[in-house]
Structure 1
Amino acid sequence: MAALARWCVRHRLLAVLLWLLTLGATATAAALAGSAYSTDYEVPGTESGRATELLARGFPGVVGDGGTIVWHTENGTVRAADVERTMTRTLDEVAELPAVAVVAGPYGEGPAQADRISADGRTAYATVTFDRPVGDLTAADARSVVDTAARAAGDGLRVELGGSAVALTEPRGGLLAETVGVAVAAVVLFLVFGSLAASLLPIATALVSVGTAYAGTVLLGHAMTVADFAPMLGMLIGLGVGIDYALFVVTRHRQGLRRGLPVGKAVEEAVATTGRAVVFAGATVCIALLGMLVLRLGFLDGVAIAASLTVVLTVAASVTLLPALLSWIGPRALGRRERRRLAEQGPEPETGTPPQGLAARWAAFVERHPKKLGVLALAAVTVLALPTLSLHLGTSDQGNNPESATTRQAYDLLAEGFGAGVNGSLTLVGEVHGAADRAALAELAEAVRGTEDVASVSPVTYAPDGDTALLTVVPESAPQSERTSDLVDRLRTEVLPRAEQGTALDLHVGGVTAGYDDFAALIVGKLPLFVGVVVALGCVLLLLAFRSIGIPLKAAAMNVLAVAGAFGVVVAVFQWGWGSDLLGLGRAGPIEPFLPVIMVSVLFGLSMDYQVFLVSRMYEEWLATRDNRRAVRVGLAETSRVINSAAVIMIAVFLAFVLTGDRVIAMFGIALAAAVALDAFVLRTLLVPALMHLLGSANWWLPRSLDRLLPRISIERPRQPVAPGDGRARIPGRRGECRSARAGADA
């Protein structure tokens, strides 16, 4: 690491240019290639996945991406001559647009057309089928449909549009979220450093690395399945950890300058010490993210690799680009007052002084009241985690969008005119092998009509080759309702098995709700394995770093508490709707089924950083003094300020992404912000030190036989010992803090 730092300092212009060229090249390639993200959460091998395969083979026009044009009249009916004339002309214009394949409206003869007009005659809709998947559509393609349809509105006629393609045209606050998050981070950094130059470097480093990663994720989408929210998720994680990692390196560099080190030497020491810790922390985040690969779900594999790519690039920028920039600004990494004090009073002593200030007083307070404070912290986390017990995994849809969105307006008009279930119908699909199967299907349609929570059932439709049959079932409840999920189970376990008896039929239930239910069931089934693998790997890393059984176990427990508390906040805001309208997050609904897996990965990796930062300073003091109380007190006093500053930056960045208007990204932002707040302000600075005071020297116990077997690793480069004879031993410092302790002092 020291050699890398020296190279970056000596060739700082080349190092900066290489990063800028990499950013420019990847951004250009991404712009030329375009995006190829996936919105398909279907899992092959599940029943809903089999239904989709049969539909695609027998009814290629049914499966695909489309939109819905909904119109409603306050006076009269949609069958009025002027309304019919206006909408017929509009639908014909939409059908002529380049990206549109078919438009099916309500006007004409036949039951299919009549079903598109509500019972009161005041609402009607038409379906728009595009000639390509939504992932291949441009915003301009969707915008042309929206603008053409919207021109029909007026004189008491409302026109709204729904569907995944239409959602492409709705404004997203991505740039606003990034700007707000970065601005708050800049303010916090300036307050911490007191230097404008030093506060801008972590932000510049994070922006370059995250920008490169964003473009890389776009390109990755052409090589494998990458979810449509993966780029924004990667940006959210990258900005948070990138600014934090750079904060740690700059903090260590400034300490070196205050001790009188030349700029180049201070940069080298910062990278050789704190840079090693940053690499270790980034590796733990990547390990946690790549743990998603054990689930063997292509949809999540792309998310894991894209997020890991972002973390790798932020770490690389922190130990290459940042050192070059630090050497460029020279002594200006210190504020004017610090430079003046250094010139007048000389360098600070390397040995340092006992911790002072609020952090030291807090550490002493925790030392005096570990039981009371530990119980208080545990109670607070438990209260926040209680809503997790009612966690409902399912699909959120356009009914959860903000009320101002046209997709939400279309959703509500359809629900009011045709029933909530029309927004997410179910499909019964199966292969047909003879007359007996056809007779059974006719009876099945009647049986399904009489099933609880079914609003309507379409007649049996046969594919052109006659080998595949389709029934469309409209539930009485909304797609995200638990009643709809219960209906899916009822059809699969009761209705369809009775219809299949004595026939060759093999029927499958598909549709939005069925697909999400299958996806959720698959993830929940594999979640214990995933959590076990991630926790085990983290415990092994901490065991090697701190030579202790208790430290890894406490870290695992803290991670579980942080995840539980974060999920409690997510359930309260998004599922129960507490404050969701105030935050502009739309109507309450279920939690996305993939959220638990991704959240566990990200939170475990992020919390490991704080764990390593806090405990390694305690471990250093323990090795010097063998006094657990002193080790915990000093470690907490000397690290809590940086932990809290880093946490405030992360929280600001994560919360800013609520402004994107994307429900999934907002869910991640609030969950991560809640988890970091709990981790930094409750767990690491209160519960962990309280427990360590109560456990005493047992914190550092490791069986001798295991100690001999384990390899030894060092998170930071050990210091060279001072010349013999001065009676003092140099101890490697956490985050580059070098402390000396008299041999055997306070033992």
Structure 2
Amino acid sequence: MAQLLYRIGRFAARRAWLVLSGWILVLALAGGAFLAFGGTLAQSFSIPGTETERVNDRLADALPDLTGATASVVFSAEDGSLDAGQEARIAEVMDEVAEVEGVAGVVDPFATETQRTEQAAQLDAGRAQLDAGREQLDAAQAQLDAGQAQLDAAIAQAQAAGVAEQAAAQFAAQQAQLDAGRAEIAQNRATLDEQSAALSDGAALLDAAAEIRTVSADGGTAIGTIMFDDDMFTLAPEVKSEVAALLDDAGIPGVTLDYSSTITSTVEGLIGPGEIVGVLIAALVLLLMMRALLPAVTPLISSVIGVGVGVAGSLAFSDVVDMASVTPVLGVMLGLAVGIDYSLFILNRHRKQVLAGMDLQESIGLANGTAGNAVVFAGSTVIVALVALLVTGIPFLGVMGIVGAACVLIAVLVSITVTPALLGLMKVRVLRRGLRDRIGHPDHAPAEIHPMRTGRTLGAAALAIIALLVIAIPALSMRLGLPDGSSEATDTTQYQAYKTVTEQFGPGQNGPILVVAEMPQPVSEDERVRTQVDVVEQLMAQDGVVAVAPAAVSEDGAVFAFQVLPEDGPSSAGTEALVHELRALSPLNGEIELGVAGQASGNIDVSEKLADALPIYLVVVVGLSLIIMVVVFRSLLVPVIATAGYVLSLFAALGAVTAIYQWGWLADVFGVHDPGPVLSFAPIIIMGVLFGLAMDYQLFLVSGMREAYVHGMSARRSVVAGLRNGRAVVTAAAIIMAAVFGGFVFSHLGMVRPLGFGLAIGVLFDAFVVRMVIVPALMHLFGDKAWWLPRWLDRIIPDVDVEGAALERAHPVPHSEPVLGSGVR
């Protein structure tokens, strides 16, 4: 591999414009493919095999109208309540939205409230009619009773007078009339009883749904609903854009209009001010390190090309692959961070060699074959960690892993081709002007290396371990969930819609639960209302339920759907408990199978599935770590130290994420206005990415220790030698990576912020605490034992020349000792 990279580096340096033109063409093709074939990005997440998915599949068969995506539109009066003119204009806007192709229908909030009022009035009128009917029947009954009394008296008189037989026919006719009257009254009373029962059922349903409102009690806020033909993953961006444009242009005087994230889930906000600041910080670090403009911008140019190709190319497949809106953001984060770092490693090695007097073309090839070889290996560990997300069996997470891995792969390819090309164009300007006069001069003798002081070193390590363990404590109470509107930026329409609904209608209105009841046999039309009342009453009896309303009944009467309004918001612990309680009710009455679906239910299922996948993925990552480190460092103890350090930095990062985003610590600093559960897939993404980066830093630091050790230096002195020779470039790389990741902490996309923070703080913990304090201390403590490997294992492990030592021996650098580690002297 080193020889191949050497040749690639020399070719790229000689044919720089050809290489750069080729990548620009690839970038243009990727961008064109995205524009031509790119599809929609979903804000929601689904996992096959969950209870919510099972219920959704049943709904797709029985009640397909309930399976499409829905969006809420919130109309708020700027002063007072909505007047008649504003209501009419709102109705017109909703009608215009209904005409958009792809919109299945809309719900006019005022028409709904009018219908509710009319239903209440009809119930009142029906009760009045029933009362009047009962009064009439009671009066008729009284007349019959009086007639019966008169008839009985007449019969008695006739019997006393001895003429009963002669009047028997007349008495029988009169008795028959009275009996017929009684029968008619009984029938009418039965009819009234049936009507009364129906009215009672209707009243019960209306009362149970009383808190599911579309207009607030003060008349100042109204919620309109838009139903789409397609679900969240297949809803075309053109449909969302057209709907959003109509709503944005509504311009209703005196009315503020906001809408939910269903309409706003696009790639807007992929790169915002925070991300740009992160890149600027990275540029500043490069400038301070290089002290020259051209070499400082080289890693930035490489990373931008890599990100453009990787992200645009990935988005080109979004029309055929279900892709979440956060997926390309992960690609941007990784592409920028590793693209800058990998290019920096090659650039730094080349600068050292040129300063030592090596021929420019030769130096570029050697830097690409040595540091570039390490870059390929480092990138491979990140790629393997991301592709390993497929073992979780969670489709959207697997897609995220593949996209992230593709972006890292592109970053590696760009680093080993574009970087040499740019170096070939720069020639000696790769060094600042003050250093060019010193090219070829023998370096000063390196300072004598002394082992670290054992007591001070172990004390610092112990303090570092204790600090990371303390920081990790909040992770013990970490609760996973998917974001709702409250996690969005405060100036976004989806946040404003969420908060307005919470204030005016209650938090549960933002995440109603859909309960599906499957009957043991179809229910006739006459019995459906009674069946609904029976189910509604049992649902209302559950703690945390505010309201229940029938949503739909299948044509055959076998499937009933109900909308349940929880007391708390969709991401709350109360709603999570309620979903489990509702599922525990099944079978209702011993025969009715209950299923729970809806946004809140789906988010809970996804979060629980992800939580279950965490231990499996951690075992896979730890196993990979141990295998990779054993092969690279030919040691048993070094991989254990490296892996334990990774686990420590991982849990410290998760603890910090929990403290800030769930507990609300330092909320103002990080813009956490509404603390809630930790993004459900953040831990597993942080786990995978941090693993790859931790192995990078382990490689660039500890490989220098091993190189010094195998060249005869004592174990403890080799620790200092490796640390001294690798810490400068690792420090710069870690700061750059943390800056890039940290820029996403203030992203406009709510889901991205905890990811950016977790990766940034994880990189800082791992690079500066684990790799530069704990690992050297433990390596110092164990001494020669750190490099022990059984002979039988040594024979079967392949010899992986990660640093290209053989290539370096064939192309020695003038005035240099053997290069240690990552190519940094």
- What one-letter code is carried by the residue in structure 2 that aligns with 1:214? V
Is 253-262 or 589-598 further displaced after alignment? 589-598
Q: 1:201 to 1:75 in 2, by over 3 A?
A: closer
Question: Are 2:276 and 1:145 aligned?
Answer: no
- Partners in 2 of 1:95 and 1:485 — Cα distance? 34
SS of the aligned residue for 1:635 comes to helix
Distance 2:707 2:691 in 1: 24
Q: SS of the residue aligned with 2:574?
A: helix
Q: Equivalent residue for 2:782?
A: 695
Cα drift, residue 229 of structure 1: 1.0
User: Matches of residues 354-433 of structure 1 in structure 2 within 5 Å?
Assistant: 354-355=446-447, 369-432=456-519, 433=521
Q: Among residues 108, 111, 115, which one is paired with 1:110 in the alignment?
A: 115
Displacement of 1:552: 0.8
Alignment of 1:192-591 (within 5 A): 192-342=289-439, 346-349=440-443, 353-355=445-447, 369-432=456-519, 433-435=521-523, 442-459=533-550, 461-493=552-584, 495-497=585-587, 499=588, 501=590, 503=591, 505-591=592-678
Deviation at 1:232, TM superposition (A): 1.1
2:286 touches 2:296 (CA, 8 Å); kept in 1? yes
Measured after TM superposition, the shift of residue 383 of structure 1 is: 2.1
What is the Cα deviation at residue 73 of structure 1? 3.9
What CA deviation, in whole Å up to 9, does each residue of 1:525-549 have, x standing for no partner? 2222211112211211110111111
Taking the aligned partners of 1:178 and 1:216, their CA distance within structure 2 comes to: 21
Q: Supply the distance in 2 between the matched residues of 1:339 and 1:353 (Cα, whole angstroms).
A: 20
Aligned residue for 1:208, secondary structure, equals: helix
Contiguous gaps of at least 5 residues in structure 1: 739-747
1:172 aligns with 2:269: yes
| 1: CA distance, partners of 2:666 / 2:807 | 55
Counterparts of 1:258 and 1:380, CA distance in 2: 41
Q: Which residue of 2 aligns with 1:651?
A: 738
Per-residue CA distance 1:351-404 (angstroms, 9 max, x = gap) = x73358xxx8xx966655122101111122112211111101012200222333
| DSSP-derived class of the 2:596 partner | strand
- Note the alpha carbon deviations across 1:601-622, whole angstroms, 9 max, x for none: 1110011100001100000111
What is the one-letter code of the residue matched to 1:84?
E
Deviation at 1:146, TM superposition (A): 2.7
**Residue 679 of structure 2 contacts residue 751 of structure 2 at CA under 8 Å; is this kept in 1?**
yes
Q: How does 1:82-97 map to 2 (within 5 A)?
A: 82-97=85-100
Contact 2:649-2:765 within 8 A present in 1 as well = yes
Superposed displacement of residue 472, structure 1:
0.9
Counterpart contact for 1:367–1:629, Cα < 8 Å: no
Whole-angstrom CA distance in 2 between matches of 1:142 and 1:552: 55
Q: Which of the numbers 135, 159, 163 marks the counterpart of 2:257? A: 159
The one-letter amino acid paired with 1:49 is E
**Are 1:719 and 1:731, in contact at CA under 8 Å, matched by a contact in 2?**
no
Indicate the SS of the match to 1:734: coil
Opposite residue 61 of structure 2, the aligned amino acid is: R
Instruction: Please list, as runs of the form range in 1=range in 2, the aligned pairs for 1:641-680 lying within 5 A after superposition.
Output: 641-680=728-767
| Structure 2 residue 16 is the aligned partner of structure 1 residue 12 | yes
- Structure 2 distance, partners of 1:110, 1:163, is 28
Task: Please say which of residues 175-184 and 410-419 is displaced more in the overlay.
Answer: 175-184
1:29 to 29, 33, 36: 33
Q: Secondary structure at the match of 1:571?
A: helix
Q: Supply the distance in 2 between the matched residues of 1:710 and 1:575 (Cα, whole angstroms).
A: 45
Aligned-pair CA distance for 1:53: 1.6
Cα distance in structure 1, aligned partners of 2:116 and 2:221: 16
Task: Report deviation, 1:309.
Answer: 0.5
Paired letter, 2:95: D
SS of equivalent to 1:341: coil
Change (3 A) 1:225 1:721: closer
Deviates more, 1:690-699 or 1:674-683: 690-699
CA gap of 1:722–1:472, structure 2 versus 1, over 3 A, is closer
Pairing of 1:56-75 with structure 2 (within 5 A) = 56-73=60-77
- 1:604 pairs with 2:685: no
TM-score, structure 1 normalization: 0.90
Gaps of 5+ in 2: 119-209
- 1:574-593 per-position Cα deviation (integer Å, ceiling 9, x unaligned): 11223334433431111121
Please tell me whether Structure 1 or Structure 2 has the larger radius of gyration of its CA atoms: 2
Instruction: Report if the CA contact (8 A) 1:716-1:732 is conserved.
Output: no
In the alignment, residue 396 of structure 1 is paired with which amino acid? P
Describe the SS at the equivalent of 1:479: coil
Q: Is the 8 A contact 2:12 2:417 kept in 1?
A: yes
Aligned partner of 1:745 in structure 2 is: none
SS at match of 1:160: strand
Contact 1:621 1:631 in 2 (8 A): yes
Contact 1:442 1:460 in 2 (8 A): no
> Kindly tell me: are residues 462 and 24 of structure 1, through their superposed partners in 2, closer, same or farther at Cα, counting changes over 3 Å?
same
- Corresponding residue number in structure 2 for 1:743: none
- Number of residue pairs matched by the alignment: 715
Percent identity over the alignment? 34
Q: Distance in 1 between matches of 2:664 and 2:10?
A: 53
CA distance in 1, matches of 2:542, 2:282: 56
2:370 touches 2:808 (CA, 8 Å); kept in 1? no
